[in-house]
């Protein structure tokens, strides 16, 4: 089961330790966050204690209004649950009673400079990405005219060579050879393994450092995949789509990605075709489809 280490969350979110017990290895299994206002009011039914707990001004000021005995009872019960951590937003001072019961049960407590809403949103975004379903697929991912394009095909079909030409035309590399893909909000985000970041292998030349050869504008760390390109060897016996009637898709982590199948043979400018495929996809997103225009012209011609 995927999880995030508490220390990684602390570093990423810039949290300041108020009480961080030794030998505590909290693990976070869900991206969801709880603001325990109801728990501070004494309601513990359906308490999602496995989530990170965040206290803002409302909860903290409410705690300070409680009578001392009531405060102790509720905080004692709150910290008796195995919460991964409590984070106090807005850089507020943490009530001494909160620290006392955190130490009693050895529950980590942190402070954050960010306002409560911003802290919650940032933490959810970070945890969602870290806990997302993930796979690694052989291929190349680039940003072409702002569209995330994933190029797949058999080894030796020319994926890297085609991608190099696209980079030379001004497009940006995300990953070559191995593409890490995460499912986030039913979308696919591509990144590159650290080992091969900014690098590309070209048979006969070797390993190329794209960042140093073409500049920082030629690479990108991550990109949502919107279009897949499948390169395959030209088959004279196969009937290829010539007017765009066929709609092809591939499934990655149960997400369907529109796919263009491009047959490869000598003389075809594959990089130019991929550019046109990306532009055509953008046109469709904006509501224009060349096939619809063709059909209207054909219909009008038949009717006249």
96 labelled catalytic = no
What is the Cα–Cα distance from 44 to 38, expressed in whole angstroms? 7
The residues, any chain, with a CB within 8 Å of residue 195's CB and separated by 6 or more, are none
3-state helix, strand, coil in the chain (%, to 5): 35, 30, 35
Residues of the chain with CATH 3.40.50.300: 133-293
Other beta carbons less than 10 A from residue 163's beta carbon: 28
Out of 5, 64, 138, 297, the active site residue is 138
Is position 156 annotated in a ligand binding site? yes
pLDDT tens, N- to C-terminus, the chain (304 residues) = 689 999 999 999 999 999 999 877 789 999 999 999 999 999 999 999 999 999 999 999 999 999 999 999 999 999 999 999 999 999 899 989 999 999 999 999 999 999 999 999 999 999 999 999 999 999 999 999 999 999 999 988 999 999 999 999 999 999 999 999 999 989 999 999 999 999 999 988 999 999 999 999 999 999 999 999 999 998 887 777 666 666 889 999 999 999 999 999 888 899 999 999 999 999 888 887 776 776 777 677 877 6
- Helix (H), strand (E) at residue 115: none
> Is 153 annotated as contributing to ligand binding?
yes
| Domain 133-293 in this protein, CATH class | alpha beta
Q: What does pTM read for this prediction?
A: 0.78
Q: Is 268 a catalytic residue?
A: no
Q: Is 211 marked within a binding site?
A: no
Give the integer Cα–Cα distance in Å for 130 and 31: 9
Distance CA 179, CA 193 (A): 7
- Helix or strand holding residue 13 (H, E): helix 6-13
Q: Which of 35, 72, 95, 177 is catalytic?
A: 177
Predicted pLDDT at 117:
94
Q: Where in the chain is the domain with CATH 3.40.1390.20?
A: 4-130
Tell me how far apart the alpha carbons of residues 229 and 242 are, in angstroms, rounded to a whole number.
16
Pick the CATH number of 4-130 from 2.40.390.10, 1.10.3720.10, 3.30.300.30, 3.40.1390.20: 3.40.1390.20
């Amino acid at each position: 089961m995927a999880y995030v280490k508490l220390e990684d969350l602390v570093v990423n979110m810039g949290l300041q330790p108020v009480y961080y017990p030794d030998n505590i290895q909290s693990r976070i299994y869900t991206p969801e966050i709880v603001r325990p206002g109801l728990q501070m009011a004494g309601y513990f039914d359906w308490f999602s204690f496995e989530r990170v707990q965040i206290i803002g001004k409302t909860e903290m000021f409410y705690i300070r209004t409680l009578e001392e005995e009531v405060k102790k009872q509720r905080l004692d019960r709150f910290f008796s649950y195995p919460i991964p951590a409590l984070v106090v937003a807005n850089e507020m001072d943490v009530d001494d009673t909160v620290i006392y019961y955190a130490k009693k049960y050895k529950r980590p407590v942190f402070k954050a400079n960010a306002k409560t809403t911003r802290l919650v949103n940032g933490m959810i975004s970070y945890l969602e990405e870290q806990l997302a379903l993930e796979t690694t697929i052989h291929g190349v991912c680039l940003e072409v005219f702002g569209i995330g394009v994933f190029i797949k095909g058999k080894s030796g079909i020319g994926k890297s060579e085609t991608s190099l030409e696209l980079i030379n035309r001004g497009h940006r590399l995300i990953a070559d050879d191995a593409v890490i893909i995460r499912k986030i909000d039913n979308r696919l985000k591509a990144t590159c393994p650290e080992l091969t970041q900014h690098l590309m292998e070209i048979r006969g030349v070797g390993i190329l450092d794209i960042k140093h050869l073409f500049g920082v504008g030629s690479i990108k760390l991550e990109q949502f995949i919107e279009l897949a390109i499948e390169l395959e060897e030209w088959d004279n016996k196969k009937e290829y789509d010539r007017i765009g009637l066929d709609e092809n898709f591939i499934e990655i982590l149960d997400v369907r990605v529109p796919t263009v199948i491009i047959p490869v043979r000598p003389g075809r400018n594959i990089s130019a075709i991929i550019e046109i495929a990306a532009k055509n996809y953008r046109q469709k997103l904006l509501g224009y489809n060349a096939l619809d225009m063709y059909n209207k012209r054909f219909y009008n011609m038949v009717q006249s």
